[in-house]
């Protein structure tokens, strides 16, 4: 359950989830066993060595602002696909 909260480790399946994590990581409480993470809580980091608390974790964005940021980031592509 624990994850290193300073970096996205591949556990998210959408850009929205990543933005929400960086927006609320330090705002939501720590999850208890069997709590669904991301909605009302985040798991504690496995290590705090690389957790950046000065620039991310408490961005103060509303849900609509998170959505707007995701939409903006989705425009930043040249269309190249692997």
What's the predicted TM-score (pTM) here? 0.76
- pLDDT, one tens digit per residue, over 49-59 is 888 888 889 99
- pLDDT, one tens digit per residue, over 30-48 is 999 888 888 889 988 888 8
Structure confidence at residue 22 as a pLDDT band (50, 70, 90) = very high
Q: Are 4 and 46 in contact (CB under 8 A)?
A: yes
**What distance, in Å, lies between the first and last C-alpha atoms of the chain?**
31
Among 8-12, 38-42, 67-71, 78-82, top mean pLDDT goes to 67-71
Distance CA 36, CA 80 (A): 35
Domain ranges in the chain are: 15-74
- Virtual torsion, Cα 62, 46, 51, 75, nearest 10 deg: -50
């Amino acid at each position: 359950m624990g994850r290193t909260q300073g970096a996205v480790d591949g556990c998210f399946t959408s850009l929205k989830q990543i933005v929400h994590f960086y927006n609320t990581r330090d705002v939501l409480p720590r999850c208890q066993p069997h709590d669904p993470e991301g909605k009302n809580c985040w798991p504690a980091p496995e290590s705090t060595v690389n957790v950046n608390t000065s620039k991310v974790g408490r961005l103060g964005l509303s849900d609509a602002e998170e959505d707007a940021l995701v939409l903006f980031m989705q425009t930043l592509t040249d269309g190249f696909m692997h």
